[in-house]
Amino acid sequence: MAHFAKVNQGLVVEVIVAEQDYINNMVDTSPGTWIQTSYNTHGGVHSDGGTPLRKNFAGIGNTYDADRDAFYESKPYPSWTLDGDTCLWEAPVAYPDSGTHTWDEENRRWVELVY
């Protein structure tokens, strides 16, 4: 079995588990295209050492970029940029080495969470 994402105008609208034969023969009259995605791929790396597929596992609401042949999440903050190699969003400041932090967009910095 494999995972497939239904993409309509660059937006993932559905994700299913199916055999390729099912995708090839299914009758689907709704707009969009089924594109295979890998549950084991994140940041362009396959977690089991296999061949990564389309940079990241697709989720509903994610973007499919046909030019990059990649899935990625929505931009979390205006100041963040998309890494073209991993298709993961990066903050303008590196995440601190220790502790748990949240992003402060107004001040463009990580703020440590104190419990």
Domains of the chain, by residue range, sit at 1-74, 76-115
Percentage of residues of the chain with pLDDT beyond 90: 99
Alpha helices in 1-115 (DSSP H): 20-25
pLDDT tens-place string over residues 33-52? 999 999 999 999 999 999 99
67 pLDDT band, cuts 50/70/90, is: very high
Rounded to two decimals, the pTM is: 0.91
Is residue 85 scored above 90 in pLDDT? yes
The label of the residue with tokens 């932090």 reads 101
78 and 105 in contact (C-beta within 8 Å)? yes
CA distance 47 to 56: 11
Is residue 14 scored above 90 in pLDDT? yes
115 pLDDT band, cuts 50/70/90, is: confident
Is residue 63 scored above 90 in pLDDT? yes
CA distance 57 to 113: 29
